[in-house]
Amino acid sequence: MAVTRRRSKGAAEQVAERAENKLYPIKHYVRIIIIISISALILDLIISFATIAIVKQQSARDLRDTAYLYINRINGDFSYINHFMGWTLANDDNVNIMNTHELNDTEFIKANDMLFRRFVELQKSYDRNYNFFLFFSEKDIMLNVAPMGLTYKEFQELKGQMDTYMDKSVGYDPFYSRWSTVQLDGTFYILNVFLYHGNYMICLIAADDLIEPLRQINLGEKGYASLWTEDGSLVTSPMSNNGKPAHIEQDRYAWLMPFQTRTTVKGEFDNASFFVRLVIQFGAFEKIMIAQLLIMLMAVIVACSLSFIMLYFRNKVLQPIKSFSYNLAFWTEDGEPIDIASNNIAELEKANKQFTGLVQQIKTYKIDIYEREIEKQRIQLDYMKLQIKPHFFLNCLTTIHSMAQMDMTEEIQQMAMSTSIYFRYIFQNGQDFVRMEDEIEHVRIYLEIQKNRYRDAFLYRIEGAEQVPDLPIPPLVLQTFIENAIKYAVSRDQKSLITLILKRRRIGGEIATVIRITDTGPGFPSHVLEKLRQRLPLDQTHGTRIGIMNTIQRLESLYGGRAAVRFRNRAGGGAGVTLYLPELPAHPSETGGQPNASIARR
């Protein structure tokens, strides 16, 4: 009974685990991406429009506050000027004196001068652009009582209009104690008129001068400030804040304001027949709207692209993956499933399982092939070593035989001892690398043997060996090239010189040992030198040049292709061989299969 319960519990856990790790096709994830993209687009549009509305409202509020500050100041100026003009007409003795005397009388001139000074002080306190005039209807005289900014033609038009206003049929009620607009010689002015006992006090200021402070506010590149009459007429010049002509029109389509990139602010003056209109036209609004259009366009492109990708992926990717998965099923060893991390995509899950099995098999095959290749190289390397040993042995026997023919008993004893030491070094050394000091000593013994043979027919010089006594080097490498120099450069006709020089140099970012072996013989034959430079195999049918070819192969095998050997003929005669031996890695397996470009180039 307990066993049955445990089995039931295990089956329930398996069902729960399968439900948790349920696999879905790719189109399921594509649908989720499309839904998320559309939702993000809608949310972005809502946030963007809300941001634009908030920024526009804030800008409008700031401009409205600024405009109201200016309007309140103007209203205050208007109120004081009205009071000043009314009091002057009713109470100023200078006005009475001027009214009772003729224009050329001294009393008239003095009263006019006193009145002029008072209004000059008024201009200094408020604005020099205000113009003040005094009109005597009985004398039909109009005088400026402050510095005047009008032209003579405008002054004459103003006097003519005052004559018209006094006409009973027209009247001056629209202008009495109320700031209104008037046009003089094509220019709009703001006008106010006071009447007291047939005398008129007139205040006049250009509409553009009145609105100039508002044009100093930053309203954007195409923003502008303007004055409008109650009937919708523009009374200021159409000019934007940057001094360029502006396209000014009424807001005819108010229902489009939430989608427009500009904001309009309207401010009204007290006791005036005109109002101010500010239009803000910042480029930021336009950029935001353009960005919204681009976002919508990109969203449409993304949605279309995802739909196309879904169709393309289903036809061009999923079907081949299914076929690939089906074919890989026959490559597994025993058909057992391979446990890997789930990626929640049904089609790729199966393909991944089968492909992992194939990769494991390929790895096994590669390891087996690699081990066989290493063993093959090891056998070949041992063979080359064995091939070198009898080559040197035969040369030594030939040398001793020649000395015996010449009855050189003492030399034979010395030669035999040197040969014994020489071959003891060869037979006891079965490793890939030896110390440079031991290799140099072996070369010295060989050269001494040859000197006994040739009876001082050559000299030799070894330099730099004391700098690298413990440096590892493959055995018999130097002896091979020294032997070649003895064979082809030394003769009994003339004395030769063989030189062995060792140096440590930095080549291509790494330290390398440079070994130069030169002689004063005839040098390499041209066809042999060309093959050596092009790394072509030499002719070995007669058993010659085996040592050079084997040494080159040994260096390539032991250094992984990073070592280099360069052959040349010296300008003064003789052959030269230069070996570039790089530093050995910590483990022989770290050597690569490609030659080092910085070394091989030299």
The stretch 39-59 carries a mean pLDDT of 75
Residue 590's pLDDT is what? 43
Q: Name which of 5-19, 158-172, 262-276, 429-443 the model is least confident about.
A: 5-19
Per the model's pLDDT, the better-predicted residue between 74 and 221 turns out to be 74
Residue 530's pLDDT is what? 87
Q: Is the pLDDT of residue 589 over 50?
A: no
Residue 16's pLDDT is what? 55
Q: Is the pLDDT of residue 546 over 70?
A: no
Q: What is the DSSP letter of 179?
A: B
414 in helix, strand or coil?
A: helix
Within 10 angstroms of residue 470's Cβ, the number of other Cβ atoms is 8
- Cα–Cα distance measured from residue 477 to residue 554, given in angstroms and rounded to the nearest whole number: 9
Distances (CA, A) of 81 to 129, 191, 209, 570: 13, 12, 17, 112
The chain-wide mean pLDDT, for the chain, equals 75
Distances (CA, A) of 533 to 45, 490, 601: 72, 24, 11
Q: Is the pLDDT of residue 114 over 80?
A: yes
Tell me the per-residue pLDDT of 295-306, one tens digit each, with 9 for 90 and over. 777 777 877 777
602: CB partners within 8 A, 6+ apart: 507, 564, 566, 580
User: Which H or E element spans position 458?
Assistant: strand 458-463
Strands 199-206 and 180-184: unpaired
Q: Is the pLDDT of residue 375 over 80?
A: no
Residue 390's pLDDT is what? 64
pLDDT > 70: percent of the chain: 69
Distances (CA, A) of 433 to 242, 386, 472, 548: 86, 16, 6, 18
Q: Name which of 103-112, 343-352, 412-421 the model is least confident about.
A: 343-352
Tell me the per-residue pLDDT of 275-285, one tens digit each, with 9 for 90 and over. 888 887 765 55
Structure token pair of residue 500? 């062995």
Per the model's pLDDT, the better-predicted residue between 570 and 431 turns out to be 570
Angle between helix axes 436-454 and 346-405 (nearest 10 degrees) is 30
User: Which H or E element spans position 195?
Assistant: strand 187-196
- Cα–Cα distance measured from residue 120 to residue 127, given in angstroms and rounded to the nearest whole number: 10
**Residue-wise over 401-427: b if at least 16 C-beta within 10 A, else e?**
eebeeeebeebbeebeebbeebeebbe
Confidence band, pLDDT 50/70/90 cuts, at residue 123: confident
Confidence band, pLDDT 50/70/90 cuts, at residue 569: very high
Within 10 angstroms of residue 162's Cβ, the number of other Cβ atoms is 19
Confidence band, pLDDT 50/70/90 cuts, at residue 257: very low
Per the model's pLDDT, the better-predicted residue between 359 and 189 turns out to be 189
Q: Is the pLDDT of residue 200 over 80?
A: yes
Asked whether the CA dihedral 208, 211, 213, 215 is positive or negative, the reply is negative
Among 135, 196, 190, 130, residue whose Cα is nearest residue 162: 135
